[in-house]
Structure 1
Amino acid sequence: MGFLDIKQATKSYGAVKVLHETDISVEEGEFLVLVGPSGCGKSTLLNMIAGLEDVTSGDIAIKGRSMLGVKPADRNIAMVFQSYALYPNMTVRGNISFGMEMHGLAKPEREKKIEAVAELLQITQLLDRKPGQLSGGQRQRVAMGRALTRDPDVFLFDEPLSNLDAKLRVDMRTEIKKLHHKLGTTIVYVTHDQIEALTLSTRIAVMYGGHVQQLGTPKEVYDNPANMFVAGFMGSPSMNLFPAKVAQANGAPAAEVTLRNGETALLPFAGGSMAGHDGRDIILGIRPEAITDRDGADRNSNAVHMIEATVELTEPAGSDTFVVTHMGGRDITGRFRADVQVEAGDRFPFAINMEKAVVFDPETEARVA
């Protein structure tokens, strides 16, 4: 039994089921991120934990106690919203204090908590300002400060950074991660941003179509995606997914791929995987960082194979250069070193690390190797 247990939880609106049977057990101190595209059911699940939505069937329990029929105010949870939800006519001090006043906490204790969270979040100098005088990042810190004074069992974050600009999002991600390390609190965090999910979480639940597609650590989800949706959704740029066929290369199974000019190339599978599947149509998945220039390839891998292919496009990105070629009828992106001299139209040797390749069934889209 976990600290927070979601057991076969579903949510339906009439005949429409928006969240299918969901099982997730969250340990105390974990940082679970629910990630997926709009409409996948992640915010619905968060609202069910908060008590803002009823559970149609199944159960949600916190510290072994079922939350069915328990009002949001009685769940000892704290929620941080996308919209900050601050009172514009109150100062920062008033906003942070308000919830404690409603719970009847004595003023000396309130002041002690306000000072503590203000110092923790570095907003002491803002306590006498009103929300209208604050930046987006400062408002989000105030919203977090209000939640922190509750000392809840579980923190719930509903896309808290989506209203911030790109640089501020990165800064606030760092602050939230520091906060989690310092306090060891249990957090359930909703986002559609997979980079946010990978950088913040101890575990990720990737959601799509009302189902949890995969639940695991960031490394498990990134390196070993359960299906093509997870493979394509997690990572930026996303995993390259392209058709291939299982063939033989020097008596060992290999992926046969078609290049832009109609030529075919063989990429032997690492460790003899896919043996006995000759002639099978597959979808090959390879991350951009496993497709690079010769000198940038992993020197510790024994499964790096070279393919000479035509460069379609180059995209300088500061520390890297993304290089696009064509395989299996799809554009394929490789991550090259920034100083590699390569131009569109060049015939160039691509180093492909097949230790990092994964294989999917084109019919079911499930992973097979």
Structure 2
Amino acid sequence: MGFLDIKNATKSYGAVKVLHETDISIEEGEFLVLVGPSGCGKSTLLNMIAGLEEITTGDIAIKGQSMAGVRPADRNIAMVFQSYALYPNMNVGQNIVFGLEMHGVPKPERDTAMNKVADLLQIKHLLDRKPGQLSGGQRQRVAMGRALVRDPDVFLFDEPLSNLDAKLRVDMRTEIKKLHQKLKTTIVYVTHDQIEALTLSTRIAVMFGGHVQQLGTPKEVYDNPANMFVAGFMGSPSMNLFPAKIAVENGKAVAKAKLADGQDATLPFPDARGFERHDGREIILGLRPEAITDRDGADRNSQSVHVIDAHVDITEPAGSDTFVSTQLGGKEVTGRFRADVDVHPGQTFPFAINMEKAVAFDPKTEERVS
């Protein structure tokens, strides 16, 4: 049993089921991120934890106690919204302690809690200002302060950074990460941004179509996606997915994929992967951009780097890297090369492919081939 248990929970609106049977157990101090595209059910699940949406079937328990019939105000949770939801007529200090005041906490205790949180979030100089005088990042800190001051069992974040510009989003992401490491609080965080999910979480639940597609650590989800949706959704740039065929040559399994000139690229799988039993099987091969690079930039610790000569379609300098595109299996494939590699569109260039990082999917079911 976890600190927060979601047990076979579903949500339906009439005949439409928007969240299918969901089981997630969250330990105390964990940072779980619910990530997925709009309409996947992640905000619905967060609202069910908060008590803002009723559960159709199943149960949600906090610290072993079922939340069935428990009002949001009695769940000892704190929620940070996308819209900040600050009172414009109150100053920052009043906004932070408003919930404590409504619960009858004496003023000396409110002031002590307010000052402690203001120091933690570095907003003490803003306590007398109104929300209209603050930047977006400052407003988000105030919203977080209002949640922190209550010392709840669980913090719920509903896309809290989506209204911020790109640089401020990165800065606030770092602040939230520091805050979690310092306070060891239990957090459930909703976002559609997979970079936020990978950088913030201790575990990720990738959602699509009302189902949890995969639940695991950031490394597990990134390196070993359960299906093609997870493979394509997580990572930027996303995983390359292209048709290939497994063949067994001299007792070893290889993936064969067509190059732009119609020739086969032969890519041997590592021996321990066991793909020999799938001889002749059509697959979708998945490779992250960092597994496709220039020869000198390849992983020197890997025993399964194989070089193919391929036509360069596009090069995209990106500061610390150069992204280089070619064709495999009739699909555009992007590799992450070193910034100073002398590579140009139109030339044939050696691409080093690390097959230790390759994953294979069934083209019909889109599930991982083990």
Matches within 5 A, 1:78-93: 78-93=78-93
SS of the residue corresponding to residue 286 of structure 2 reads strand
Shift of 1:276: 2.1
Deviation sequence 1:41-82 (CA, Å, 0-9, x none):
000000000000000000000000000111000000000000
Residue 350 (str. 1) matches residue 351 (str. 2): yes
Matches within 5 A, 1:107-122: 107-122=107-122
**Equivalence for 2:175:** 175
Q: Which amino acid aligns with 2:266?
A: L
**Equivalence for 1:326:** 327
Contact kept? 2:324, 2:335, Cα under 8 Å: yes
Shift of 1:116: 0.4
**Equivalence for 1:185:** 185
CA distance in 1, matches of 2:50, 2:149: 17
**Equivalence for 2:317:** 316
Shift of 1:346: 1.1
Number of residues of Structure 1 aligned to a counterpart in Structure 2: 369
Shift of 1:248: 2.9
Shift of 1:7: 0.2
**Equivalence for 2:31:** 31
Identity %, equivalent residues: 80
CA distance in 2, matches of 1:346, 1:92: 60
Deviation sequence 1:27-47 (CA, Å, 0-9, x none):
000000000000000000000
CA distance in 1, matches of 2:271, 2:225: 19
**Equivalence for 2:75:** 75
Compute the TM-score of the two structures, normalised by the length of structure 2.
0.99
**Equivalence for 1:307:** 308
SS of the residue corresponding to residue 276 of structure 1 reads helix
Contact kept? 1:359, 1:368, Cα under 8 Å: yes
Contact kept? 1:323, 1:334, Cα under 8 Å: yes
Q: Which amino acid aligns with 2:279?
A: D
Matches within 5 A, 1:1-369: 1-272=1-272, 273-369=274-370
Q: Which amino acid aligns with 1:114?
A: M
Q: Which amino acid aligns with 2:130?
A: K
Shift of 1:249: 3.5
CA distance in 1, matches of 2:250, 2:266: 10
Shift of 1:247: 1.3
CA distance in 2, matches of 1:96, 1:265: 61
CA distance in 2, matches of 1:359, 1:248: 15
Compute the TM-score of the two structures, normalised by the length of structure 1.
0.99
SS of the residue corresponding to residue 343 of structure 2 reads coil
Q: Which amino acid aligns with 1:103?
A: H
Contact kept? 2:246, 2:281, Cα under 8 Å: yes
CA distance in 2, matches of 1:249, 1:167: 50
CA distance in 1, matches of 2:64, 2:146: 26
Contact kept? 1:140, 1:160, Cα under 8 Å: yes
Q: Which runs of 5+ in 1 are unaligned?
A: none
Shift of 1:277: 1.6
CA distance in 1, matches of 2:107, 2:347: 72
Further displaced range: 257-266 or 40-49: 257-266
Shift of 1:252: 1.1
Shift of 1:279: 1.2
Contact kept? 1:249, 1:266, Cα under 8 Å: no
Contact kept? 1:51, 1:72, Cα under 8 Å: yes
Q: Which runs of 5+ in 2 are unaligned?
A: none
Question: CA RMSD, aligned part only?
Answer: 0.7
CA distance in 2, matches of 1:88, 1:81: 15
Shift of 1:250: 3.7
CA distance in 2, matches of 1:297, 1:68: 54
SS of the residue corresponding to residue 196 of structure 2 reads helix
